[in-house]
Amino acid sequence: MPRTAYVNGRYVPHAHAQVGIEDRGYQFADGIYEVVPVIAGAFIDEDWHWDRLDRGLAELRIDRPVNRKALSLIGRRVAGLNRVRDGLVYVQVTRGEAPRDHKFPTKPVPPALVVTARHLPVPKDLSEARMIDVITGPDERWARPDIKSISLLPNVLAKQAAAEAGAYETWMINALGEVTEGSSANAWLVSRDADSGRVVLRTHPADRHVLNGIVRTALVALSGQHQWQIEERAFTLDELLAADEAFQTSSGNMIRPVRSVDGRVIGTGEPGPVVQEILDDFAAHVAAQGGV
């Protein structure tokens, strides 16, 4: 079936969707994007995604192209036109089209909005542990990865490095020796205090150095229901290798337990009990929104 895209007020065949060559997204990566997962026709954690989009637009001083209700309706129509019940809706907003100049346009121009949708296989059981292997590499991104910018070249190179190493993802390490996040996911470890037996989930703080993922946000919200505690605190590679369990979170792949890092097995190398509990809880969280 031919695909359909929304481009600046029009629904057009995907193959013929176009923006001008002086669009600032093309010229300068002057824009942001958002990806909303669709499961069984339900937009999962939709409001959190639109909140993050609004925050990015405000940080870059780009006007909203449409209000939130209209954007939600556009996203649903694009998903429907493409018959996407399991997949992703991609939203991109740029500062718009203007003569090439590094500074903002001196005359007001409307922001450009593109919305597309594509199918993505979703496991029949979201609580299934689909393990991955990870490598590490230097964090070479710009200083504001908390903004979901369309400027993703360092992330592309990190993801390619993982692919060439036969791994699924690269977890990036900053100049302080701390793991920040993956090229397209938030990084987590699980440890147990030897004295108290308390289970701790650690992940980098949601500051300017990482993107605050929506699945990450959901897990923080769900943590109050359990005995384990979330610590938003950076961890080193040595701490990661010594962890009982590790996993990553992202809207595209939800929760993926980590089997190994740089060829070193984490824990037993099998899905651990804490990550399995998290998988079960997140599956229930999605089901409560109609994603079954």
Catalytic residue IDs = 148
CB 214 within 8 A of CB 285: no
Q: Could you give phi then psi for residue 127, rounded to 5 degrees?
A: -85, 0
- What's the CA gap between 214 and 45, in Å, rounded? 7
CB 49 within 8 A of CB 75: no
Helix (H, G, I), strand (E, B) or coil at 40: coil
CB 186 within 8 A of CB 171: no
- What's the CA gap between 169 and 173, in Å, rounded? 13
Strands (E), the chain: 4-7, 10-13, 31-39, 42-43, 87-94, 112-119, 132-138, 169-173, 178-182, 186-192, 199-203, 229-232, 235-236, 245-250, 254-261, 264-265
Structure tokens given for 94:
């740029």
Strand-pairing partners, residue 256, are 248
CB 262 within 8 A of CB 246: no
Q: CA dist 243 to 19, 40, 195, 261, Å? A: 47, 35, 16, 11
Q: Could you give phi then psi for residue 69, rounded to 5 degrees?
A: -60, -45
- What's the CA gap between 42 and 124, in Å, rounded? 15
